[in-house]
Amino acid sequence: MARRADRPRLLLPALLSTALGTGLVLSVLELHSVSAGLGRQVAEQLPASGVSNPVTAVLLNFRGYDTLLEVAVLLLALLGAWSLESSRRPPLARPAPPVQEMLTRLLAPLLVLVAGYLLWAGAGAPGGAFQAGSVLGAAGILVLLAGWRCRRLAAAGRPLAVLGPALFLLVGWALLLLQGSFLDYPPARAGLLILAIETAAMLSIGATLAALFVAVLGHGGQRP
Amino acid sequence: MAALNLLAAAFDLLLAAALVALAWQALRSPDLFRAIVLFIVFGLLMALAWVRLDAIDVALAEAAIGAGLTGALLLAAWARLQRAAGGADGETR
Amino acid sequence: MNTALLYALAGVALFTLGLQALIVQPHLLRKILALNVMGSGAFLVLVALARDRPDAPADAVPQALVITGIVVAVSATAFALALMLRLRAATGRSTLPEDSGD
């Protein structure tokens, strides 16, 4: 890996990295047990947030704006990857080896079910839109790799990817008009709004991640 | 009870050491495929570390996105690099 | 030293290792791996530093930040991989021009 002639070239980065690492260790040791954190404030506002999982409450309610930007970043990455890639269509459908075929038949419906559960349970237990969306994306990748022809699903990729950020933005604007401030959920409706946004976000994240995989995979090695 | 704390502490020490060792191995492995696989394992151990830090949602996200999807993306890119190089020597190109 | 401090220091080690690999390794895929390792290290520090008392419930805000960070990291990784493949298709090498000359 590091040839003898490279030693001088490696020395300076190693010294700088070690210096940075030492500084970071000292900072961490000093920061440890200094901050009180925001746990108390989150616990106080949790009953009014619409969900009982504090992480979901922070993600979708207290810091909902950050999550909106995050789904927008996902979409941006997809647009960027699409602008670089010529192939947006999944690789050619080809029969998969028997073990892969059987595994996909078993796993794909199960993954969809798990995604739905994670989305629903995310309100009160660990879970939520991102975990559910990534499991959905994994199911999509499995189906693609097994060579199943899902023309309608592939065609739905683009609208699904936009659905999450679009719905989030629409809810924010609607609340801006009705309540006076962006993404300010009325506490009575907060749970329902969060569920709606999370569902759209789950579908969007799943579609975007699967589409990103297709963009990186390219033509899938179909040599004529 | 004290024995359980000692066991938990030993587990944490082992997990933290394994994380750093895996990352080091993944970053300086000569074989690119091995590096990617080690990174996926690193991601799964990170999920365990999140559980130890009482961050279950993060553990779910790390296992699915950090290890699974990032690993799939890396392997897809690796496969394309292999195809571009004609599958001869995967590392130098 | 409690659990959280141990993981925070491990996070610092990961960050430093990733930074070193990012600077030194010429192959772009390895640079992307290094960036991901750096990100994981930073997330560990973020959550571990907030976990100063094991008996108290975990602080949800850093966890939400880290979940956001993980999703952004995978988006950036996917885009970076697409860029690398495009560079490969355009120039025939998967290293940056200044690294190819060495």
Residue owning tokens 């993954």: A111
If DSSP codes are grouped into helix, strand and coil, which group holds residue B86?
Answer: coil
Band of the pLDDT at A12, cuts 50, 70, 90? Answer: confident
- For residue A207, pLDDT over 90 is answered with yes
**Tokens standing for C62?**
């850093």
The C-alpha of C52 sits at a distance from chain B's nearest C-alpha, in angstroms, of 10
Comparing alpha-carbon positions, the chain A residue that sits nearest to B57 is: A126
Mean pLDDT, rounded, for A167-189: 85
What is the ipTM, given to two decimal places?
0.90
Residues A46/A50/A51/A56 CA torsion (nearest 10 deg): -80
> What's the confidence (pLDDT) of residue C50?
85
Q: What percent of chain A has pLDDT over 90?
A: 40
Name chain A contacts of C63, Cβ cutoff 8 Å.
55, 58
CB nearest C40 (choices: B13, B46, B80): B46
Residue A166 has pLDDT above 70, yes or no: yes
CB contact at 8 A, A130 and A205: yes
Query: Which among A193, A207, A202, A194 is positioned nearest to A159, based on CA atoms?
Result: A207
Buried b or exposed e, range A144-164, using 16+ CB within 10 angstroms: bbbbbeeeebbeebeebbbbb
Minimum Cα–Cα distance from B70: chain A residue: A213
Residue C93 falls in which region: left (phi positive, over 0), alpha (psi -120 to 50) or beta: beta
Give backbone dihedrals phi and psi of C27, rounded to 5 degrees, phi first: -70, 135
* Of the partner residues A24, A37, A84, the one whose CB lies closest to the CB of residue C59: A37
> Residue A223: what pLDDT?
41
Say if residue A86's pLDDT is above 80: no
Task: Using CB atoms within 10 Å of the CB of residue B7, give its burial: 0 to 12 exposed, 13 to 18 middle, 19+ buried.
Answer: exposed
For testing the chain A interface, which of B69, B70, B91 should be mutated: the one with the most A CBs within 10 Å? B69
The pLDDT value recorded for residue C3 is 81
The pLDDT, as a whole number, for residue C68 is: 95
Q: pLDDT-derived band of residue A79, with 50, 70 and 90 as boundaries?
A: very high
Neighbours of chain A (3+ CB pairs under 8 A): B, C
**Torsional sign, CA A19, A21, A26, A30:** positive
Rounded CA separation A53/B90 (Å): 46
Q: What is the pLDDT of residue C11?
A: 95
Of A192, A197, A57, the closest CA to residue A132 belongs to A197
Pick among C1, C75, C86 to test the A interface (most A CBs inside 10 A): C75
Both ends of chain B: CA-CA distance in Å? 55
- Are residues A126 and B60, on separate chains, in Cβ contact within 8 Å? yes
Interchain contact C71–B (C-beta under 8 A): yes
B48–chain C Cβ distance below 8 A for any pair: no
State which residue of chain C sits closest to B25, comparing Cα positions.
C17
Instruction: Quickly state the pLDDT bin for A43 (edges 50, 70, 90).
Output: confident
- The SS3 of residue A184 is coil
Judged by CB atoms closer than 8 Å, whether chains meet at A205 and C71 is answered as yes
**Of C7, C71, C88, which has the smallest distance from its Cβ to B65's Cβ?**
C71
Closest chain B residue to the Cα of A140, Cα to Cα: B69
**Lowest mean per-residue pLDDT among A2-16, A44-58, C63-77:** A2-16
CB C25 within 8 A of CB C34: yes
The CA–CA distances, whole Å, from A107 to A159, B10, B61 equal 25, 36, 19
Tokens describing residue B59:
């553990």
Closest CA to A141 of A90, A97, A73, A196: A90
Residue A160 CA: distances (Å) to CA of A41, A156, C26, C60:
35, 6, 37, 29
Site from C28, C63, C99, C102 to mutate, B interface, most B CB atoms within 10 angstroms: C63
What pLDDT does B89 receive? Answer: 45
> How confident is the model at residue A5, as a pLDDT?
53
Instruction: Evaluate if residue A138 carries a pLDDT over 90.
Output: yes
Would you tell me how many other CB atoms lie within 10 Å of the CB of residue C14? 28
* Confidence category of residue A42, pLDDT binned at 50, 70, 90: confident
pLDDT in tens, chain B (93 residues): 678 889 999 999 999 999 999 999 999 999 999 999 999 999 999 999 999 999 999 999 999 999 999 999 999 999 999 888 775 444 444
Write down which chains contact chain B via at least 3 CB pairs under 8 A: A, C
The CA-CA-CA angle for residues B58, B64, B67, to 5°, reads: 95
How far apart, in whole angstroms, are the C-alpha atoms of residue B69 and residue A138?
A: 7
Report d(CA C78, CA C5) in Å as an integer: 32
Answer yes or no: do B69 and A53 touch at CB < 8 A. Answer: no
Is the pLDDT reported for residue A4 higher than 60? no
Which among A21, A33, A77 is the nearest to C78, CB-wise? A77
Segments in chain C below pLDDT 50: 102
DSSP state of B62: I
Instruction: Note the pLDDT of residue B27.
Output: 95
Which residues in chain A are closer than 8 Å to C82, comparing Cβ atoms? Answer: 80-81, 84-85, 215-216
Chain C partners of A205 at a C-beta cutoff of 8 Å? 71
